Amino acid sequence: MAATRMVVIGGDAAGMTAASQARRRKGPDELSIVAFERGRYTSYSACGIPYWTGGEVDGPDALVARTPAEHRERGIDLRLGTEAVEIDLDRRRVRTRAVGDGTYEWTGFDHLVVATGAVPRRPAAEDVPGIDTDGVYGVQTLDDGEAVLDGLGRDGVRRAVVVGAGYIGVEMAEAMLRRGLDVTVVDRADQPMGTLDPDMGALVREAMEGMGIAVEFGAAVREIRAGDDGRVRAVVTDRAEHPADIVILGLGVAPDTRLAREAGLPLGEHGGLLTDFSQRVRGHDGIWAGGDCAEVFNLVSGDTEHVPLGTHANKHGLVIGTNIGGGYATFPGVVGTAVSKVCELEIGRTGLTESRATAAGLRYATATIESTGRAGYYPGAALMTVKMIAELGSGRLLGVQIVGREGAGKRVDVAAVALTAGMTVERMTSLDLGYAPPFSPVWDPVLVAARKTAGKLRE
Protein backbone atom coordinates (compact mmCIF):
# COMPACT_ATOMS: atom_id res chain seq x y z
CA MET A 1 0.00 0.00 0.00
CA ALA A 2 1.41 3.39 -1.05
CA ALA A 3 2.22 5.91 1.65
CA THR A 4 -0.12 8.84 2.18
CA ARG A 5 1.36 12.00 0.65
CA MET A 6 1.50 15.33 2.41
CA VAL A 7 2.35 18.38 0.28
CA VAL A 8 3.41 21.65 1.90
CA ILE A 9 3.43 25.02 0.12
CA GLY A 10 5.79 27.34 1.97
CA GLY A 11 9.02 26.50 3.78
CA ASP A 12 8.95 28.76 6.82
CA ALA A 13 7.42 28.50 10.29
CA ALA A 14 3.96 27.02 9.75
CA GLY A 15 4.78 24.81 6.78
CA MET A 16 8.00 23.24 8.04
CA THR A 17 6.73 22.88 11.61
CA ALA A 18 3.76 20.97 10.20
CA ALA A 19 6.07 18.79 8.11
CA SER A 20 8.44 18.13 11.01
CA GLN A 21 5.67 17.31 13.47
CA ALA A 22 3.94 14.96 11.01
CA ARG A 23 7.27 13.21 10.40
CA ARG A 24 7.78 12.71 14.15
CA ARG A 25 4.47 10.87 14.28
CA LYS A 26 4.72 8.86 11.07
CA GLY A 27 7.67 7.41 9.21
CA PRO A 28 8.33 7.55 5.44
CA ASP A 29 6.62 4.19 4.87
CA GLU A 30 3.34 5.63 6.15
CA LEU A 31 3.63 9.27 5.10
CA SER A 32 5.67 10.85 2.34
CA ILE A 33 6.22 14.60 2.72
CA VAL A 34 7.02 17.02 -0.11
CA ALA A 35 7.57 20.71 0.66
CA PHE A 36 7.91 23.50 -1.91
CA GLU A 37 9.71 26.76 -1.14
CA ARG A 38 10.37 29.40 -3.80
CA GLY A 39 13.20 31.05 -1.84
CA ARG A 40 16.60 29.91 -0.61
CA TYR A 41 15.92 29.61 3.12
CA THR A 42 13.64 27.61 5.40
CA SER A 43 12.49 27.89 9.01
CA TYR A 44 13.92 31.32 9.64
CA SER A 45 13.06 34.22 11.94
CA ALA A 46 11.76 37.11 9.86
CA CYS A 47 11.22 38.93 13.17
CA GLY A 48 15.00 39.10 13.55
CA ILE A 49 15.62 40.97 10.29
CA PRO A 50 15.51 44.50 11.84
CA TYR A 51 18.10 43.46 14.44
CA TRP A 52 20.30 41.86 11.78
CA THR A 53 20.15 44.90 9.51
CA GLY A 54 20.80 47.11 12.55
CA GLY A 55 23.96 45.16 13.38
CA GLU A 56 22.77 43.78 16.72
CA VAL A 57 22.72 40.12 15.64
CA ASP A 58 24.53 38.10 13.02
CA GLY A 59 22.75 36.83 9.95
CA PRO A 60 21.43 35.35 7.90
CA ASP A 61 22.54 31.92 9.18
CA ALA A 62 21.96 32.86 12.82
CA LEU A 63 18.28 33.52 12.00
CA VAL A 64 17.75 30.04 10.52
CA ALA A 65 16.28 27.57 13.02
CA ARG A 66 16.61 24.54 10.73
CA THR A 67 18.43 24.33 7.42
CA PRO A 68 17.14 22.63 4.27
CA ALA A 69 19.74 19.89 4.78
CA GLU A 70 18.45 19.22 8.29
CA HIS A 71 14.89 18.90 7.01
CA ARG A 72 15.98 16.48 4.31
CA GLU A 73 17.90 14.39 6.85
CA ARG A 74 14.58 13.94 8.64
CA GLY A 75 12.93 12.45 5.57
CA ILE A 76 11.25 15.54 4.12
CA ASP A 77 11.53 16.02 0.37
CA LEU A 78 12.20 19.76 0.46
CA ARG A 79 12.48 21.49 -2.92
CA LEU A 80 13.93 24.99 -2.85
CA GLY A 81 13.55 27.42 -5.73
CA THR A 82 10.19 25.86 -6.53
CA GLU A 83 7.09 28.01 -6.66
CA ALA A 84 3.54 26.66 -6.42
CA VAL A 85 1.46 28.25 -9.17
CA GLU A 86 -1.83 26.34 -9.10
CA ILE A 87 -3.91 24.19 -6.75
CA ASP A 88 -6.25 21.69 -8.43
CA LEU A 89 -8.71 20.65 -5.73
CA ASP A 90 -10.72 18.30 -7.97
CA ARG A 91 -7.68 16.18 -8.90
CA ARG A 92 -5.93 16.90 -5.59
CA ARG A 93 -2.68 18.06 -7.07
CA VAL A 94 -0.39 21.12 -7.05
CA ARG A 95 1.37 22.59 -10.06
CA THR A 96 4.83 24.02 -9.47
CA ARG A 97 7.39 25.97 -11.48
CA ALA A 98 11.14 25.71 -11.02
CA VAL A 99 12.45 29.24 -10.50
CA GLY A 100 15.72 28.39 -12.26
CA ASP A 101 14.68 26.87 -15.59
CA GLY A 102 10.94 27.58 -15.58
CA THR A 103 9.87 23.95 -15.92
CA TYR A 104 6.43 22.93 -14.63
CA GLU A 105 5.36 19.80 -12.76
CA TRP A 106 2.23 18.40 -11.15
CA THR A 107 2.41 16.73 -7.70
CA GLY A 108 -0.53 14.86 -6.20
CA PHE A 109 -1.50 15.02 -2.54
CA ASP A 110 -3.69 13.41 0.09
CA HIS A 111 -3.08 16.26 2.51
CA LEU A 112 -2.23 19.80 1.41
CA VAL A 113 -0.80 22.39 3.79
CA VAL A 114 -1.11 25.96 2.56
CA ALA A 115 1.54 28.01 4.38
CA THR A 116 2.20 30.74 1.82
CA GLY A 117 2.74 33.46 4.43
CA ALA A 118 2.20 37.14 3.77
CA VAL A 119 3.44 39.75 1.32
CA PRO A 120 4.53 43.29 2.20
CA ARG A 121 2.05 46.01 1.36
CA ARG A 122 3.53 48.13 -1.41
CA PRO A 123 1.78 51.01 -3.18
CA ALA A 124 1.14 50.65 -6.89
CA ALA A 125 3.37 52.67 -9.21
CA GLU A 126 0.39 54.69 -10.43
CA ASP A 127 -0.43 55.70 -6.84
CA VAL A 128 3.14 56.51 -5.77
CA PRO A 129 5.36 57.27 -8.79
CA GLY A 130 8.90 56.07 -8.22
CA ILE A 131 7.98 53.33 -5.75
CA ASP A 132 10.16 50.90 -7.74
CA THR A 133 13.19 53.20 -7.73
CA ASP A 134 16.55 51.62 -6.91
CA GLY A 135 17.15 52.02 -3.18
CA VAL A 136 13.54 51.38 -2.05
CA TYR A 137 13.25 48.18 -0.01
CA GLY A 138 10.53 46.07 1.55
CA VAL A 139 11.38 43.88 4.53
CA GLN A 140 9.81 40.42 4.72
CA THR A 141 12.35 37.70 3.90
CA LEU A 142 16.03 37.03 4.51
CA ASP A 143 16.65 37.92 0.88
CA ASP A 144 15.08 41.32 1.63
CA GLY A 145 17.41 41.74 4.59
CA GLU A 146 20.44 41.01 2.41
CA ALA A 147 19.21 43.56 -0.12
CA VAL A 148 18.90 46.24 2.58
CA LEU A 149 22.42 45.52 3.81
CA ASP A 150 23.74 45.75 0.25
CA GLY A 151 22.00 49.12 -0.07
CA LEU A 152 23.49 50.34 3.19
CA GLY A 153 26.94 49.31 1.98
CA ARG A 154 26.91 51.72 -0.95
CA ASP A 155 28.90 54.93 -0.80
CA GLY A 156 27.16 58.07 0.38
CA VAL A 157 24.27 56.47 2.27
CA ARG A 158 23.63 58.88 5.13
CA ARG A 159 19.87 59.54 5.19
CA ALA A 160 17.09 56.98 5.59
CA VAL A 161 13.36 57.48 5.25
CA VAL A 162 11.06 54.82 6.70
CA VAL A 163 7.55 54.81 5.26
CA GLY A 164 5.11 53.42 7.81
CA ALA A 165 5.24 53.51 11.60
CA GLY A 166 3.87 50.13 12.63
CA TYR A 167 5.96 47.37 14.21
CA ILE A 168 8.29 46.88 11.25
CA GLY A 169 8.55 50.63 10.63
CA VAL A 170 9.66 51.56 14.14
CA GLU A 171 12.01 48.56 14.36
CA MET A 172 13.63 49.46 11.05
CA ALA A 173 13.90 53.09 12.16
CA GLU A 174 15.94 51.85 15.11
CA ALA A 175 18.05 49.70 12.77
CA MET A 176 18.87 52.69 10.57
CA LEU A 177 19.62 54.81 13.63
CA ARG A 178 22.04 52.15 14.90
CA ARG A 179 23.77 52.26 11.53
CA GLY A 180 24.47 55.95 12.13
CA LEU A 181 22.03 57.32 9.55
CA ASP A 182 19.81 60.37 9.85
CA VAL A 183 16.34 58.85 10.09
CA THR A 184 12.92 60.21 9.13
CA VAL A 185 9.68 58.27 9.64
CA VAL A 186 6.55 59.23 7.69
CA ASP A 187 3.04 57.84 8.01
CA ARG A 188 -0.42 58.90 6.92
CA ALA A 189 -1.80 58.14 10.41
CA ASP A 190 -1.78 60.83 13.07
CA GLN A 191 0.37 58.77 15.45
CA PRO A 192 2.74 55.79 15.18
CA MET A 193 1.72 52.24 16.08
CA GLY A 194 -1.82 52.00 14.78
CA THR A 195 -2.36 48.92 16.97
CA LEU A 196 -2.34 51.28 19.97
CA ASP A 197 -4.89 53.89 20.91
CA PRO A 198 -3.85 57.39 19.74
CA ASP A 199 -3.05 58.59 23.26
CA MET A 200 -0.59 55.72 23.71
CA GLY A 201 0.78 56.15 20.19
CA ALA A 202 1.53 59.78 21.09
CA LEU A 203 3.89 58.53 23.80
CA VAL A 204 5.78 56.50 21.20
CA ARG A 205 5.99 59.52 18.93
CA GLU A 206 7.35 61.72 21.73
CA ALA A 207 9.98 59.11 22.56
CA MET A 208 11.03 58.72 18.91
CA GLU A 209 11.53 62.46 18.59
CA GLY A 210 13.59 62.40 21.77
CA MET A 211 15.86 59.79 20.16
CA GLY A 212 16.61 62.11 17.26
CA ILE A 213 14.23 60.48 14.77
CA ALA A 214 12.49 63.06 12.60
CA VAL A 215 8.80 62.26 12.17
CA GLU A 216 5.97 63.40 9.93
CA PHE A 217 2.54 62.00 10.68
CA GLY A 218 -0.81 62.66 9.05
CA ALA A 219 0.79 62.92 5.61
CA ALA A 220 0.65 60.46 2.72
CA VAL A 221 3.59 59.71 0.44
CA ARG A 222 2.95 61.14 -3.02
CA GLU A 223 6.17 60.41 -4.91
CA ILE A 224 9.62 58.92 -4.59
CA ARG A 225 12.18 60.84 -6.60
CA ALA A 226 15.39 59.51 -8.12
CA GLY A 227 18.65 61.28 -8.81
CA ASP A 228 20.56 61.34 -12.08
CA ASP A 229 22.14 58.00 -11.17
CA GLY A 230 18.70 56.35 -10.97
CA ARG A 231 18.87 55.84 -7.22
CA VAL A 232 16.44 57.27 -4.71
CA ARG A 233 17.12 60.81 -3.51
CA ALA A 234 13.88 61.99 -1.86
CA VAL A 235 10.47 61.02 -0.52
CA VAL A 236 7.73 63.56 -1.23
CA THR A 237 4.68 63.71 1.05
CA ASP A 238 1.61 65.95 1.16
CA ARG A 239 3.58 68.53 3.09
CA ALA A 240 7.32 68.11 2.58
CA GLU A 241 10.20 66.63 0.63
CA HIS A 242 12.53 64.44 2.68
CA PRO A 243 16.04 63.76 1.31
CA ALA A 244 16.79 60.03 1.25
CA ASP A 245 19.67 57.75 0.24
CA ILE A 246 17.70 54.65 1.24
CA VAL A 247 13.96 54.09 1.74
CA ILE A 248 12.45 51.31 3.84
CA LEU A 249 8.80 50.38 3.39
CA GLY A 250 7.15 49.37 6.65
CA LEU A 251 3.52 49.43 5.55
CA GLY A 252 2.55 46.08 7.00
CA VAL A 253 1.67 42.85 5.22
CA ALA A 254 -1.32 41.14 3.64
CA PRO A 255 -2.07 37.40 3.52
CA ASP A 256 -0.53 35.77 0.44
CA THR A 257 -3.66 33.91 -0.66
CA ARG A 258 -3.72 34.33 -4.44
CA LEU A 259 -3.37 30.57 -5.00
CA ALA A 260 -6.04 29.80 -2.43
CA ARG A 261 -8.44 32.36 -3.88
CA GLU A 262 -7.98 31.06 -7.42
CA ALA A 263 -8.61 27.51 -6.17
CA GLY A 264 -11.87 28.59 -4.55
CA LEU A 265 -10.84 28.15 -0.92
CA PRO A 266 -12.74 30.31 1.61
CA LEU A 267 -11.22 33.64 2.61
CA GLY A 268 -12.19 35.91 5.47
CA GLU A 269 -12.86 39.61 5.77
CA HIS A 270 -9.13 40.35 6.02
CA GLY A 271 -8.16 38.22 3.02
CA GLY A 272 -6.80 35.26 4.98
CA LEU A 273 -7.82 31.63 4.74
CA LEU A 274 -10.61 30.53 7.08
CA THR A 275 -10.00 27.39 9.11
CA ASP A 276 -11.62 25.49 11.94
CA PHE A 277 -9.91 25.00 15.30
CA SER A 278 -7.91 22.05 13.91
CA GLN A 279 -6.49 24.38 11.20
CA ARG A 280 -8.42 22.49 8.52
CA VAL A 281 -9.68 24.84 5.81
CA ARG A 282 -13.42 25.19 6.28
CA GLY A 283 -15.40 22.80 4.12
CA HIS A 284 -12.35 21.01 2.68
CA ASP A 285 -11.15 17.71 4.11
CA GLY A 286 -7.42 17.18 3.82
CA ILE A 287 -6.70 20.87 3.14
CA TRP A 288 -4.96 22.71 5.96
CA ALA A 289 -3.70 26.26 6.41
CA GLY A 290 -1.65 28.13 8.97
CA GLY A 291 0.67 31.05 9.58
CA ASP A 292 0.45 34.47 8.02
CA CYS A 293 -1.85 33.36 5.18
CA ALA A 294 -4.63 32.39 7.62
CA GLU A 295 -7.00 34.35 9.82
CA VAL A 296 -7.26 33.60 13.52
CA PHE A 297 -10.13 33.72 16.00
CA ASN A 298 -9.92 36.52 18.56
CA LEU A 299 -11.00 35.21 21.95
CA VAL A 300 -11.91 38.70 23.21
CA SER A 301 -13.94 40.13 20.32
CA GLY A 302 -15.27 36.85 18.88
CA ASP A 303 -14.21 37.88 15.36
CA THR A 304 -11.52 36.58 13.03
CA GLU A 305 -8.53 38.79 12.25
CA HIS A 306 -5.17 38.68 10.50
CA VAL A 307 -2.30 38.55 12.99
CA PRO A 308 0.98 37.82 11.16
CA LEU A 309 3.26 36.58 13.95
CA GLY A 310 5.75 33.74 14.08
CA THR A 311 4.38 32.64 17.46
CA HIS A 312 1.03 31.75 15.91
CA ALA A 313 2.59 30.26 12.78
CA ASN A 314 4.64 27.76 14.77
CA LYS A 315 1.61 26.76 16.85
CA HIS A 316 -0.49 26.35 13.71
CA GLY A 317 2.16 24.10 12.21
CA LEU A 318 2.31 21.96 15.34
CA VAL A 319 -1.48 21.53 15.29
CA ILE A 320 -1.55 20.68 11.58
CA GLY A 321 1.32 18.21 11.81
CA THR A 322 -0.23 16.49 14.81
CA ASN A 323 -3.57 16.07 13.04
CA ILE A 324 -2.07 14.83 9.77
CA GLY A 325 0.14 12.49 11.79
CA GLY A 326 -2.88 10.78 13.32
CA GLY A 327 -3.22 12.72 16.58
CA TYR A 328 -5.62 15.42 17.65
CA ALA A 329 -4.82 19.06 18.37
CA THR A 330 -6.55 22.42 18.14
CA PHE A 331 -5.63 26.10 18.10
CA PRO A 332 -8.35 27.90 20.06
CA GLY A 333 -7.46 31.47 19.09
CA VAL A 334 -5.54 34.55 20.18
CA VAL A 335 -5.99 37.61 22.35
CA GLY A 336 -3.84 39.81 20.13
CA THR A 337 -0.59 40.09 22.09
CA ALA A 338 2.47 41.79 20.61
CA VAL A 339 5.62 43.48 21.87
CA SER A 340 8.13 45.68 20.11
CA LYS A 341 10.75 48.29 20.82
CA VAL A 342 12.43 51.31 19.34
CA CYS A 343 15.82 51.78 20.97
CA GLU A 344 15.23 51.79 24.75
CA LEU A 345 11.45 52.27 24.47
CA GLU A 346 9.36 49.10 24.91
CA ILE A 347 5.82 48.75 23.57
CA GLY A 348 3.35 46.03 24.52
CA ARG A 349 -0.30 45.46 23.77
CA THR A 350 -2.89 42.72 24.11
CA GLY A 351 -6.64 42.45 23.64
CA LEU A 352 -8.77 45.24 22.20
CA THR A 353 -8.09 48.92 21.74
CA GLU A 354 -10.88 51.43 22.25
CA SER A 355 -11.66 51.49 18.53
CA ARG A 356 -11.76 47.69 18.34
CA ALA A 357 -13.99 47.46 21.40
CA THR A 358 -16.36 50.02 19.90
CA ALA A 359 -16.44 48.14 16.59
CA ALA A 360 -17.30 44.95 18.48
CA GLY A 361 -20.28 46.71 20.05
CA LEU A 362 -18.86 46.64 23.57
CA ARG A 363 -19.38 49.29 26.24
CA TYR A 364 -16.30 49.90 28.32
CA ALA A 365 -14.35 52.05 30.74
CA THR A 366 -10.64 52.89 30.57
CA ALA A 367 -7.95 53.91 33.02
CA THR A 368 -4.37 55.04 32.44
CA ILE A 369 -1.65 55.07 35.09
CA GLU A 370 2.03 55.87 35.37
CA SER A 371 4.32 53.74 37.47
CA THR A 372 7.84 52.34 37.53
CA GLY A 373 9.11 48.90 36.64
CA ARG A 374 11.06 48.65 39.90
CA ALA A 375 10.66 50.05 43.38
CA GLY A 376 11.02 53.82 43.05
CA TYR A 377 14.07 53.91 45.30
CA TYR A 378 15.88 51.11 43.45
CA PRO A 379 18.55 52.21 40.90
CA GLY A 380 17.33 52.17 37.31
CA ALA A 381 13.62 52.54 38.07
CA ALA A 382 12.03 53.87 34.90
CA LEU A 383 8.54 55.12 34.14
CA MET A 384 5.96 53.21 32.18
CA THR A 385 2.41 54.05 31.17
CA VAL A 386 -0.28 51.38 31.38
CA LYS A 387 -3.72 51.74 29.81
CA MET A 388 -6.43 49.24 30.62
CA ILE A 389 -9.87 48.69 29.06
CA ALA A 390 -12.68 46.74 30.74
CA GLU A 391 -16.28 45.95 29.88
CA LEU A 392 -19.03 47.85 31.67
CA GLY A 393 -21.35 45.60 33.60
CA SER A 394 -19.31 42.40 33.59
CA GLY A 395 -15.98 44.00 34.52
CA ARG A 396 -14.24 41.68 32.06
CA LEU A 397 -10.77 42.78 30.97
CA LEU A 398 -10.79 43.77 27.31
CA GLY A 399 -7.31 45.08 26.61
CA VAL A 400 -4.03 46.48 27.92
CA GLN A 401 -1.40 48.73 26.34
CA ILE A 402 1.99 49.47 27.91
CA VAL A 403 4.64 51.98 26.81
CA GLY A 404 7.80 52.49 28.82
CA ARG A 405 11.44 51.68 29.40
CA GLU A 406 13.16 48.52 30.59
CA GLY A 407 10.72 45.96 31.97
CA ALA A 408 7.62 47.46 30.35
CA GLY A 409 7.04 45.34 27.26
CA LYS A 410 6.84 41.81 28.66
CA ARG A 411 4.56 42.91 31.50
CA VAL A 412 1.80 42.66 28.92
CA ASP A 413 2.00 38.86 29.26
CA VAL A 414 0.25 39.07 32.64
CA ALA A 415 -2.67 40.77 30.90
CA ALA A 416 -2.59 38.22 28.06
CA VAL A 417 -3.07 35.38 30.55
CA ALA A 418 -5.87 37.29 32.28
CA LEU A 419 -7.60 37.88 28.94
CA THR A 420 -7.31 34.22 27.97
CA ALA A 421 -8.81 33.23 31.32
CA GLY A 422 -11.65 35.75 30.93
CA MET A 423 -10.76 37.48 34.20
CA THR A 424 -12.37 40.64 35.50
CA VAL A 425 -10.23 43.59 36.46
CA GLU A 426 -11.50 43.23 40.05
CA ARG A 427 -10.15 39.67 40.14
CA MET A 428 -6.86 40.85 38.63
CA THR A 429 -6.19 43.20 41.54
CA SER A 430 -5.52 40.20 43.81
CA LEU A 431 -3.20 38.32 41.45
CA ASP A 432 -0.24 36.90 43.33
CA LEU A 433 2.59 38.37 41.24
CA GLY A 434 6.25 38.18 42.14
CA TYR A 435 7.71 41.11 44.06
CA ALA A 436 11.19 42.29 44.96
CA PRO A 437 12.49 45.86 44.62
CA PRO A 438 14.74 45.09 41.60
CA PHE A 439 11.74 43.72 39.68
CA SER A 440 8.62 45.59 40.72
CA PRO A 441 7.03 48.04 43.13
CA VAL A 442 4.91 46.47 45.88
CA TRP A 443 1.94 47.09 43.59
CA ASP A 444 2.90 45.99 40.09
CA PRO A 445 1.94 48.55 37.41
CA VAL A 446 -0.53 46.11 35.84
CA LEU A 447 -2.27 45.67 39.19
CA VAL A 448 -2.34 49.42 39.77
CA ALA A 449 -4.06 49.83 36.39
CA ALA A 450 -6.51 47.02 37.23
CA ARG A 451 -7.37 48.64 40.56
CA LYS A 452 -7.97 52.02 38.94
CA THR A 453 -10.06 50.48 36.15
CA ALA A 454 -12.16 48.57 38.66
CA GLY A 455 -12.81 51.87 40.42
CA LYS A 456 -13.93 53.44 37.13
CA LEU A 457 -16.42 50.61 36.63
CA ARG A 458 -17.96 51.34 40.04
CA GLU A 459 -18.48 55.06 39.31
* Range list of β-strands (E), 89-202: 93-98, 104-108, 111-114, 118-120, 136-138, 159-163, 182-187
Interatomic CA distance for residues 10 and 189, integer angstroms:
33
* C-beta separation of 74 from 23 below 8 A: yes
Chain centroid to Cα 84, Å, comes to 23
Within 10 angstroms of residue 168's Cβ, the number of other Cβ atoms is 25
Upstream peptide bond of 332 is cis (omega within 30 degrees of 0) = no
List residues bridging with 345 in a β-sheet.
342
Interatomic CA distance for residues 332 and 56, integer angstroms:
35
**3-state SS, residue 233:** strand
Q: What is the DSSP string of 402-425?
A: EEESTTSGGGHHHHHHHHHTT-BH
Which residues have a Cβ under 8 Å from the Cβ of 349 and sit 6 or more positions away?
195, 196, 336, 337, 338, 339, 399, 400, 401, 402, 412
**Catalytic positions, written as ranges:** 47
Q: Which residue, 264, 248, 290, is CA-closest to 136?
A: 248
Interatomic CA distance for residues 435 and 218, integer angstroms:
42
Report the amino acid identity of residue 323.
N
Query: Nearest 5°: phi and psi at 176?
Result: -65, -35
